[in-house]
Every structure is written in structure tokens, then in C-alpha cells.
Chain A
Amino acid sequence: MRTDAGSRLPQSSLIDPKTLMSIRNLELRAKVVVEGFWSGIHRSPYHGFSAEFTEYRQYTPDDDPRYLDWRVFARSDRFFIKKFEDETNLRCYLLADQSRSMSYGSAGYSKAEYAGTLAATLAYFLYLQGDAVGLLTFDNEVREYLPARHRTGHLRHLMLALEKPSAGNATELGPPLKRIVEIVRKRSLIAMISDFLSPLDRLDRNLSALAASGHDVVVIQVLDPAELTFDFKSPAMFEDVESGKVLFIDPATARKEYLRKLTAHQEELRSTCRRLGVSWLEVSCDKPLELVLFDFLRERMQRGKSVQRFSRVLHHTTGQPMA
């Protein structure tokens, strides 16, 4: 889904990604974006998400004794767990692609850097809201996994994991999706950030498994502007950064076919997402991250409405509310 969120935000407050990437610290980058975002829109779109009392639950073995309500125990001599204080509203898992294809970049920074900054921005934003954020990095296999937590220092670990360089020789979208299905049992928001420049034949099955598990899935496709336009001038030996394969390409003749195939690929990805009810965002690396964050949040809000409508329809049909 392409958005033109820039119209809602004052252009002067946006930070050029190239300038942003010159900041070495990833956490700082995320902080700058999120603060710029706040200063740009001046108000939070998420009111009333903060912690409120929800219920008491009787203590059962294996519960963390830290959450016992000692006052209730004093009163009633029974153990109750006060749930609302420490648990968050949202669990978000960020799936970040760190394959070599992500190391390509024509604007002075790579897609991986841009995607990492985007993931860090989302994580910081959600952390600020008190949501639990987890991370799974992958290339052709799962590299790093951090469970979704909202603790002091967790954000730091997350940033360190995101700063690790790209390594894998190929992009395999299947293993991380399969892994996340296995690990994450509770309903969560899962944001998958990748260039999706790999065959999509098995993506359909894995995404459908994820969606069927009740997770809210967002697919964010990060592409370099050169990948979108293939605006090379001279013939050259083009080297695949993942496989090392080298081809002589004359852009003048190859561009048309390239764009045709790329468009077909994008269309296939978008139709897959639409079919599975998965949100899809296409992000060009030269796009300011505030706008991306804005698009993400707007997508989330629209998604929330549609889910509510969808759940009401379902409730009327089956007589049972959704979990």
C-alpha cells in the first residue's frame, strides 16, 4: 500500500533519511524520528492505552509472585494477581531481514540500515507506549530472536541486535515466519520488514499460517530507489550481492523487462497480502521515516476499525465474541 502521508505532515519537520543515517547510534536515530514525529503531529493518536486495572485473578502456581496484591491478601487472606499494572496492551514482533540483498543501497546507505532504523523507530515508539516489543532477525535462516518484553534494557538489547551487519547469502522468508508461528502463541502484531526480493511461492503458505494464528501481520517492503526505477546509464557487469553471480547488463535494453518483472512481482506480493488480510506497505529508502511511521500508524488505525467491524459481523453470525 502506497501512501502519501506527507500531505498530513509539515514537510519542514521531516528529516532527510541521508542525514538521519549519518547518526551512528541506532537508538538515537529512532529517538530523533519518534520525537520529530510527535513534534510534527502534536498529539498522540493513541489515547487511553495506558495501564488500567482490568481484573483480579486468583493466584495459581507458576504465577510470578511479584504481581501479588498484598493489600487484598491482607484483607482477605487470599492471593490475587493484579494483572493490569505490569502487562502491556500490545505485543509486537519485528521481523527484520538481514540478508545480503539488504546491504545494497544507492543513496549512500543500505536498505538494511534503513530497515534497521525503521525497526528501531517502531520499537522505540511502541516502547514509549508501554508495549512489549520482540525481534527476530533472519536471512536465509533465523539469526537472532528476542522475545517481546517491556523491560528496562530490553530496548537496548533490541537495538544491538538490529545493528548486526547483514550476513546471509539469500533471502528465505519461510523459516522466520514458521519460527514465529511456533514461538508466539498470544495474539500479537507482527511487522515483517524485508525487500521481499525472493521467490514468493512459499510466502503465501507461511503468511496464511501466521494470519490464521490470529496475529496482526504487517508486511513492510523496503526497496531502494534504484531497484524501483533501474535508472542505470552505462552497460556494466552487474553483480548479485547475495550470490555473487555476475551478468553483463545493458540498462538501456534491460530496463523495460526489469520493470515489467518487478511490477509483476510487486503485484503478486500485494495480491497475496490482500488475500490473506495482511497489511502491506511499500517503502522506498529515500522516504523520510516519520512518514513511514505515520503510514504505519494510520494503517494500524484503519486496520483496527476494520477488525472491529469484522468482529461484530462475526459475533452476530456465530453468537460468540472474538478472543
Chain B
Amino acid sequence: MTRLLLATLALYRRWLSPAIHAISPGGCRYQPTCSEYAQIAIATHGPVRGTVMALFRLLRCHPFARGGLDQVPAAAIPRPHPHEPLT
């Protein structure tokens, strides 16, 4: 699942994002960009939590937000004996 999501995001960043920016100029008010944020979040926090975090990041991007640096929070320290991931 993680791989699938990351592949989608990579694909979006490679082909769709330029297409979008070709229609309308613009950039991102946040650094990292939402898609990069999503990639990092999913890679760091797993597909479920990462997706939720990315969605909230998308909601934070609106005309009244100031933008700026908005990093993905660091992952929690893994438990000594993690059970198998659900996916």
C-alpha cells in the first residue's frame, strides 16, 4: 500500500503537477510542497496516518494561510517489538 501510494505521488509530481502549473502559473505557499509533504508523511508514518496528515496539509493550503516552512513531524520512536504492519 505504501509503495502504491508513493508511486502515485511520484507519478503526480512527474507528469500531472507540471501540467497543472502549465495551465496556471503559481507555486506553493508551503515548503515542502503538498505532494512532497505527502510522500514524506506516508514514508515516515505509514499509509493511513500519512494520508490523513497529507489531507490536513491540503486543508491548510488556502488563500488566508501565510505559508512558509511546514515540516512533517518526526516519526514516533518505534516500539521495541513492532507487530507486522497491517498492509
A binds B: no
Residues of B within 8 A of A (CB): none
Residues of A within 8 A of B (CB): none
